[in-house]
Structure 1
């Protein structure tokens, strides 16, 4: 387990699946997660995802986010893609709706970035965020990320086009702020 001030990152447990499935099917969470059509996931899809998790996968790592105060599972984060040649990791995160705007996401992202830089020796961490997800952008900035670029009108959501923002943090920047 990897600890922050508010959360710890740990392996997923089978007991987390029903809660994770509820979180990712909540429209207020789902609309921020992926650019594809936000169709509901079947529980069997969540089970299949869980069964395919492996610490031996060299490109994807998933962590459950657990609140330190009571051990409650509150969301997930991880590495969605690894470019070993160029030393770049692409990350993502989600929390259940009732855990937003309380510092858990920022803390989890800091723990994840620390793990990537200190244990994996990666040079840069990037993420993609939709421009309408202002709360997440502020959280990522608190974790040390900087806006690197904008993909204009990249996502169609709620009847209109929105920009997608690419944010990143370099290992040297993280060292200076940690």
Structure 2
């Protein structure tokens, strides 16, 4: 196979490269399903104990990007190390809204990989898919996600008080949004961050 040249590749920036999730990525999913607190923050619930079979089925269902209304990606360093996964989901073509879910491996959090991957997918959603608004719902206490959304120029639009029940109590759900106009106004600002 010829060497792949990435210098004009849309799906990467100076920190990460996105690729299709593959069936072989089940091990990454399985390993990261043991990080119960990260999954609680991401999915607002406690997951049952992970199984190899479930991770294999999940990876098979989202391989090659698509599963229903979801486009799944693996997030890699430029050296090819898988550091996370991400999916563009809840795409509503009629109203132009969408969401993005991201999980970064605990060993790689806080290094900008999630933010860098978000920049690529936001650009795709706004500039290629003609979507108009990114909507995010974040469980209170998910400081990494809140910080990332602020860096990306998202605005806090509200708080749904005591809206999510997990870990023995009700938690607030913090709502963030970013419109295409806001994205376009802040694109230079976001690219520098």
Structure 1 residue aligned with 2:120 = 111
How does 1:26-105 map onto structure 2 within 5 Å? Answer: 26-53=35-62, 55=65, 57=67, 59-68=69-78, 70-105=79-114
1:176 is paired with a residue whose SS is helix
What displacement does 1:43 show? 2.0
What displacement does 1:41 show? 2.9
1:31 is paired with a residue whose SS is helix
The 8 Å contact of residues 29 and 96 in structure 1, kept in 2 or not, is answered as: no
C-alpha distance in structure 2 between counterparts of 1:56 and 1:158, whole Å = 32
Q: Which runs of 5+ in 2 are unaligned?
A: 1-9, 188-193
Q: Does 1:12 align with 2:21?
A: yes
Count residues in correspondence.
Answer: 177
Deviations 1:17-49 (A, max 9, x none): 101221133123212121233323322122212
Q: Which has the greater radius of gyration?
A: 2
The 8 Å contact of residues 39 and 46 in structure 2, kept in 1 or not, is answered as: no
For normalisation by structure 1, the TM-score amounts to: 0.91
C-alpha distance in structure 1 between counterparts of 2:160 and 2:66, whole Å = 33
Q: Does 1:132 align with 2:141?
A: yes
The 8 Å contact of residues 109 and 140 in structure 1, kept in 2 or not, is answered as: no
Deviations 1:99-121 (A, max 9, x none): 11111111111111111111111
Q: Does 1:22 align with 2:41?
A: no
After superposition, the Cα gap between the structure-2 partners of 1:128 and 1:9, relative to the gap in structure 1 and judged at 3 Å, is: same
What is the CA RMSD across the aligned residues, in angstroms?
1.7
Q: Which runs of 5+ in 1 are unaligned?
A: none
For normalisation by structure 2, the TM-score amounts to: 0.84
| Structure 1 moving runs of 4+ over 4 Å | 54-58
What displacement does 1:57 show? 4.8
Structure 1 residue aligned with 2:3 = none
